[in-house]
A and B are shown apart, each in its own frame.
Chain A
Amino acid sequence: MTTADTIHWDPYDPALARDPYPLYARLREEVPLYYNDQHDFYAVSRYEDVQRGLADWHTFSSARGDILEIIQADVQLPPGTLIFEDPPVHDIHRRLLARVFTPRRIATLEPKVRAFCRRALEAVDGAERFDLVQAVGAEMPMRVIGMLLGIPEADQPAIRDRTDETLGTQDGGKIDEGEILSTDAFRDYIEWRKKHPSDDLMTELMTAEFEDENGVTRTLTDEEVLTYCSVVAGAGNETTGRLIGWFGALMARYPEARRELANDPSLVPNAIEEILRFEPTGPFTARYVTRDVEFHGRTVPAGSAILFIQAAANRDPRRVPDPDRFDIHRVTQHLSFGVGAHYCLGAALARLEGRVAAEELLERFPGWEVDWDHAELAQTSTVRGWKTLPLVVTGGRR
């Protein structure tokens, strides 16, 4: 294992935001089981290892969190934080939300999602350049999640800013575990919503009966409802916004793909999958190791933290031919939404929002370039994507 000493991967290093892939490739090819003594964690990066690990919740637990510094802080996580739970409790909690997030129910939201996107784009109508992230990425997912949760439109930006700030880290910083568990953003609404039930998720969560882990049939407590809302808002805003940003950036880098999509929008869903593979907004996922486990002839001891690098696995040549080539026609499975019990609950919603945003942008703008000098790429400890992406509209308008 001589190479292990020569490769250093610091997931908190902001300099890696620009292009982490050469380092991921070296980890994947040279140190398939990596140990970082600075932050005391293990990491695997091959498709097979990531897939196996994320599917095995017995060995790789989420009960201490799915973010490295949260796991290492070893804090008590409140019930209902389903991303921070293992089966069977996780499955009980997830089923309550799964009814709302079925692919078919999400599909019925399309007209509303499209209306939010059009409204966001109207604000930049006639502009020769605009920041895609500010105009659409930060706007549309917030409106969609706000609508789902039943948050009044005027209050939605404040809620988004609060959740994003909680998850945001700067210059190699770590997430504050006290902040991430805060549910204050939604506290004001729950009392009001009890008196004014509606067809939104918060109402559904407050009224849904279920059998809990002790066999008791009940409804969720206020605290649990608040936790659910925070999880949905935290998971659904920035990730989807970053996906839209990556669409804008990759279409500028690969104008031929953009022209193909503009000519044949039926190719868009597959292109969204390729964007998810090529530039996953969540590059890696952390787990807590519950028992000694072997990777590549070495033992990862129980009690360790481990990172599963989906962004590296998505480009594993053992699984994906010519993996560093962006190809909107490629048919492939990626790990960007995870595998197993924690497979992204909002995957159908993210795909819908990504497709609608792509369709609307392609319909409205025949071409665009990115002012790369003024674009800003950011990596927090959970998400990687464009913070600012100034698009310069080219070729006139439709």
Chain B
Amino acid sequence: MTERWTVRVDKRLCVRTGLCVASAPADFELDESGQGRARAERTAESDVVLEVAESCPIEAISITDADTGHRVFPPET
């Protein structure tokens, strides 16, 4: 599978729950300040990553299809 997803954590929103790292340690890590961030610039489509983004209590995680620019999560309204 090609690595099509760009995953971003909005630093203005992130309240350091650490849930993304706990749920998907292969895809997320904590930065120096304890906020979550994606480990890779691009990642393959993944139900786990999507569930992590959906489960973030403040929806600080967004997923974009890097090829098309289409937003995967939060869904465009």
* Residues in A lying within 8 Å of B, measured CB to CB: 55-56, 87-88, 91-92, 94-95, 98-99, 101-104, 337-341, 343-345, 347-348
Task: Give the docked Cα–Cα distance between A104 and B54 (Å).
Answer: 7
In the bound assembly, the distance between CA atoms of A56 and B17 in angstroms comes to 10
Knowing A55-B34, A95-B23, A99-B51 are in contact, say whether A340-B18 is a contact too (CB < 8 A).
yes
- For residue A101, which residues in chain B have a CB less than 8 angstroms away from its CB? 57
Q: How many Å lie between the Cα of A226 and that of B19 in the bound state?
A: 23
**With known contacts A103-B57, A347-B58, A98–B16 Cβ distance under 8 A:** no
**B47-77 near A? 1/0 per residue, CB < 8 Å:** 0000100110111000000000000001000
Main SS at interface, chain B: loop
Q: Is the CB of A98 within 8 A of B18?
A: no
- Check if A95 sits within 8 Å of B22, measured CB to CB: yes
Q: A55-B34, A91-B22, A91-B23 are in contact. Are A99 and B15 (CB under 8 A)?
A: no
Among B15, B19, B34, B59, contact of A98 (Cβ-Cβ < 8 Å):
B19
User: What's the nearest-Cβ distance from chain A to residue B68, in Å?
Assistant: 22
Within the complex, the shortest CB–CB distance from B31 to chain A, in Å, comes to 12
CB proximity of B38 to chain A, nearest CB, Å: 18
| A339: B residues at CB distance < 8 A | 15-16
Question: Which residue on B lies nearest to A92, using beta carbons?
Answer: B22
Alpha-carbon separation in the docked complex, A244 to B17 (Å): 26
Asked whether B16 lies within 8 Å of A340 as measured between CB atoms, the reply is yes
**Does A340 contact B17, Cβ atoms closer than 8 Å?**
yes
* B16 close to A344 (CB less than 8 A): no
Q: Which residues of chain A are within 8 angstroms of B16 by Cβ–Cβ distance?
A: 55, 339-340, 343
- CB-defined contacts of B74 to chain A, threshold 8 Å: 104
What is the interface residue range for chain B against chain A? 10 to 19
In the assembled complex, which residues on chain B have CB atoms less than 8 Å from the CB atom of A87? 18, 22
Q: Is the CB of A95 within 8 A of B55?
A: yes
Q: A341 with B58: in contact, given A88-B22, A91-B23, A99-B51 (CB under 8 Å)? A: no
* Subset of 23 A-B contacts with CB under 8 Å: A91-B23, A92-B22, A94-B19, A95-B19, A98-B19, A98-B55, A101-B57, A102-B54, A102-B55, A103-B57, A103-B58, A104-B54, A104-B74, A337-B15, A338-B15, A339-B16, A340-B17, A340-B34, A341-B19, A343-B16, A343-B58, A344-B57, A347-B58
A341 touches B57 (CB 8 A): no
Q: How far is the CA of A348 from the CA of B74 in the complex (A)?
A: 15
Q: Select which of A56, A88, A91, A348 is within 8 A of B57 by beta carbon.
A: A348
Minimum CB–CB distance from A352 to chain B (whole Å) comes to 13
Q: How far is the CA of A98 from the CA of B56 in the complex (A)?
A: 8
Contacts of A345 in B (CB 8 A): 57
List B contacts of A348 (CB < 8 A): 57
Residue of B19, B51, B59 touching A91 (CB-CB under 8 A):
B19
How far does the alpha carbon of A340 sit from the alpha carbon of B15 in the complex, in Å? 6
Per-position binary interface string of chain B over residues 16-51, scored 1 when its CB falls under 8 Å from any chain A CB and 0 otherwise: 111100110000000000100000000000000001
| Closest B residue, CB atoms, query A55 | B16
CB distance from A98 to the nearest CB of B (A): 4
Q: Which residue of B lies closest to A347 (CB)?
A: B57
- Closest approach, in angstroms, between the C-beta of A111 and any C-beta of chain B? 18
Told that A92-B22, A340-B34, A341-B18 touch, could you supply 16 new A-B pairs with CB distance under 8 A?
A55-B16, A55-B34, A95-B19, A95-B22, A102-B57, A337-B15, A340-B16, A340-B17, A340-B18, A341-B17, A343-B16, A343-B57, A343-B58, A345-B57, A347-B57, A347-B58
